Amino acid sequence: MNTKIPSYQRHRFPSEIISHAIWLYHRFSLSFREVEEVLAKRGIPVTYETVRQWCQKFGPDYARKLNRRQGRLGDSWYIDEVFITIRGARHYLWRAVDQDGDVIDILVQPRRNQRAAERFFRRLLKGQGGEPRWLMTDKLRSYAAAHRTTMPTVEHRNHAYANNRAEVSHQPTRQREYHMRGFTSPTQTQRFLTFHGLTHYLFRLGRHLMQAANYRILRTQACQVWQEVVCA
């Protein structure tokens, strides 16, 4: 794995503050101005525009490192698409999750036809390095057509509620979309949601499913992973 350290040179603030500001913005439903207030409460005079520039500069590098750490995920792929409005135009956010609810990949596209489905499937195959054991989708005919051309040997299930895991995974995106009052461009949406998803699921530990002691251990491990990624 590439362990190249992000360059924090020529920045007024140290790496700990920069990475913490980026973490606040992507981990919680905070705006840039709200992150500015949180830092100001701690005596750190950072403007919201500076926080935005930090996210744009360092976010993609953090996302690549988090993605490499994930490696190959589960062998059951749940796929769903949801429409999002970008400057008044309808686009579609394609998302794939595994049987544990971890996001495998997302892709913003203007269509949801067979060509768009094939493009997303090829992206998943390239990123995971192989085919899944099962493919679960809804009854959109684009999925069946793309399945026949890209991975015909994989078992495809599209009965009712088959892809509920993928549909539920859209909820954090909807929350951020509402809080941000919409996205500004397909490129910005792709970049933001990729990093937001990786950060969200790194700290999605299922507190209600475990004892407090185990939860603290996993939370500490997640924080250590984050510190290694940002090299702070």
Q: Helix, strand or coil for residue 4?
A: coil
Q: How many residues does the chain have?
A: 232
| AA identity, residue 41 | K
Phi-psi region of 129 (alpha: psi -120 to 50; beta: other; left: phi over 0): left
CATH code of 76-184, in short, is 3.30.420.10
Which residues are CB-contacts of 71 (< 8 A; sequence separation ≥ 6)? none
C-alpha 216/C-alpha 197 separation (Å) is 22
C-alpha 107/C-alpha 203 separation (Å) is 22
State the burial class of residue 129 (Cβ atoms within 10 Å of its Cβ: 0-12, 13-18, 19+).
Answer: exposed
**Angle, helix 212-230 to helix 15-27, in steps of 10 degrees:** 120
Task: Determine contact, residues 137/79, Cβ cutoff 8 Å.
Answer: yes
| AA identity, residue 205 | L
Task: Determine contact, residues 146/87, Cβ cutoff 8 Å.
Answer: no
Low-confidence ranges of the chain (pLDDT < 50): 1-3
Q: Where are the domains of the chain?
A: 15-70+202-230, 76-184
Which residues are CB-contacts of 117 (< 8 A; sequence separation ≥ 6)? 94, 140, 142, 143, 145, 146
User: How does DSSP assign 37-61, residue by residue?
Assistant: HHHHHTT----HHHHHHHHHHHHHH
pTM of the model: 0.84
Structure tokens belonging to residue 169: 């995974």
Closest to 131 in 3D by CA, of 120, 119, 122, 140: 122
Task: Give, in degrees to the nearest 5, the angle at Cα 217 between 212 and 223.
Answer: 120
Q: What is the pLDDT of residue 139?
A: 93
Q: Where are the alpha helices (DSSP H) in 28-153?
A: 32-41, 48-70, 114-128, 141-150
184-198: string of b/e by CB count within 10 Å (b at 16+)? eebeebbbbbbbbbb
